[in-house]
Structure 1
Amino acid sequence: MAPSPYLLWVNSRPTQVDDDLWVKWYIEEHVPDLVNHHVATRGSFYRELVPEGFALGGTPHPRKYLALYQTEIEEPLKTQKFIDIRKTSEMFPKDKTIHANGEFNGRNYKLIQDYDPENIGEKPTKFVLTAEMNPKDEADFEKWYLEEHLEMLHKVPGHRRSQRYVIGPKVPGIGDVTEAPKYLAVHEYDSLDPFINNAPEVVKTNGTPWTKKQIAESNMNAFRMFELVKPIGY
């Protein structure tokens, strides 16, 4: 099964309900709604992990939940299919509207590379490492990924595949592309222990002159990792 050509990325946090109810609403109602109404081909809901000693560093992001929707549509939230989806939930104890209970940041992306050396295909992955970058030299950035970085990431134990995206049109109401780096990579892993424990393969990958150059020259970098809560539509 080939990956969809577009990705809807939605980072969120609850504001009026607790985390448990937010997760329950997302995996029982919201992600299934987008998949069942054909706004998305499939979707996965993740919770961010920020373990002490994470090799790439970073601090917890206020929006720690991430929904990744593969879709055939460049701007899925502008479609009638999405407009028809319920915008309220009886799960919420007070105000029933979705946006009264949480904060969202959404982005549209276009797939530019599916790196799948083991031919894993479209199967849920337990962990993802996301890398957002805004390179100074896009041609050199592309060459770095193709000629060095992906192959080295694949040598880190547990790597499944990687998908690379370029940002698309602004998501109405919940996104601002000026706040986001231009490029996103989603690296799938069976385990993130090598990154947490700073394994030799990770040290080698992050320590090459080319990698250091790309990170230093990118004027926006965000490296985060997430654990799967539930996949829908696979």
Structure 2
Amino acid sequence: MGPPGLFYVLSKPTHPSLSEQTWNTWYTSEHMRDMVSIGLADLAIRYRNTNPSASWPYLAVYRLPDAAKLQDPAVMGAMAETSDLLPAPWKEVMAMELRAYALVQRFEGQVERPGRARELITVAMEPAEGEDAERDFDEWYRKQHLDMLSMCDGYCRTTRYKKLDDSTPRYIALHEYESTAYPPKEQLKLVTGTEWSKKVIGTAKVFDRDVWEYVSEYSKEGVDQKL
């Protein structure tokens, strides 16, 4: 059995005869449910990029109880390839970027907040080179950054992951907030303005940040709803 993880899928429709509305209907009503029903994921959530000019307008995240199932032909081969809603097999009607991660850390903050957060901020980072820099990167998250973020208005929780392969950026943090009105800019400026924050972020090889709004979700019955 492999580690718990995350399947992270950036996507957009590309087929000329497929409307975005129909593609979204298929993704939400069929594909997400399929990913859960075949036993790959126990929770699937879709988001829309708040930046209308973003290269990837949509994100789907699938929580994996066992990340090794991504390499299991029996599991992956059980996925439906066609739909009455689509003009061709789904892999031919959309562009995708696929990333697979293992769980690093879950952080709930000072006050546990039930329910689904409406905003997701993803921060993909590649720390400066060297074991010392990587250790400092991890300690920054655990000893300062997440504690400070948790004091921002609207903060719900953070989940951190590391890629299963060595492609960069290897690390990603998923920060959940109550709505796209949060966090206030003045509070975020204080969080990222510490000397430790400026050191880690300033020396990072890659720092990619996106803001997403919640679209829909589907989960296996009875499972924890938190990423």
What interval of TM-score do these two structures reach, taking the shorter chain for normalisation? Answer: 0.7 to 0.9
Residue 119 (structure 1) shift: 3.6
Cα distance in structure 1, aligned partners of 2:20 and 2:195: 41
CA RMSD of aligned residues (A): 1.8
Paired amino acid for 1:61: A
Provide the C-alpha distance between the structure 1 equivalents of 2:69 and 2:94, rounded to a whole number of angstroms.
Answer: 20
CA deviations 1:169-228 (Å, max 9, x no partner) are 4xxxxxxx53x3111000111023234x62x21111122222122121111111001111
Q: Matches of 1:67 and 1:75 in 2, distance apart? A: 19
- Map of 2:222 onto structure 1: none
Structure 1 residues not aligned, in runs of 5+? 52-59, 170-176
Letter aligned with residue 82 of structure 2: T
Alpha-carbon distance in structure 2 between the residues aligned to 1:77 and 1:22: 24
1:144 to 2:132 alignment: no
TM-score with structure 2 setting the length: 0.86
Distance 1:225 1:38 in 2: 29
**1:12 match: secondary structure:** strand
Q: Pick from 150, 154, 163 the counterpart of residue 150 of structure 2.
A: 154
**CA positional deviation for 1:124:** 2.7
The match for 1:26 is: 27
- Structure 2, unaligned stretches of length 5 or more? 220-224
Aligned-residue sequence identity (percent) comes to: 28
Q: Deviations over 1:4-63 (max 9, x none)?
A: 821111111110123212211110110000111211011101111128xxxxxxxx4312
Residue in structure 1 matching 2:90, options 91, 98, 109: 98
Runs of 4+ in 1 over 4 A off after TM superposition: none
Aligned to 2:8: 9
Maintained 8 Å contact 1:10/1:68: yes
Q: Please report how far the alpha carbon of residue 120 of structure 1 lies from its aligned counterpart in structure 2 after TM superposition.
A: 4.2
> What SS does the corresponding residue of 2:164 show, helix, strand or coil?
strand
- Cα deviations by residue, 1:67-87 (Å, 9 ceiling, x for unpaired): 110011224332212211111
1:134 is matched with: 126
Corresponding pairs, count: 210
Residue type matched to 2:59 in 1? Answer: L
Structure 1 counterpart of 2:164: 168
- Give the TM-score normalised by the residue count of structure 1: 0.84
Partner of 1:190: 178
Alignment correspondent of 1:113: 105
Structure 2 CA distance for partners of 1:207 and 1:120, relative to 1, 3 Å: same
Give the distance between the partners of 1:13 and 1:201, measured in 2 at CA. Answer: 33
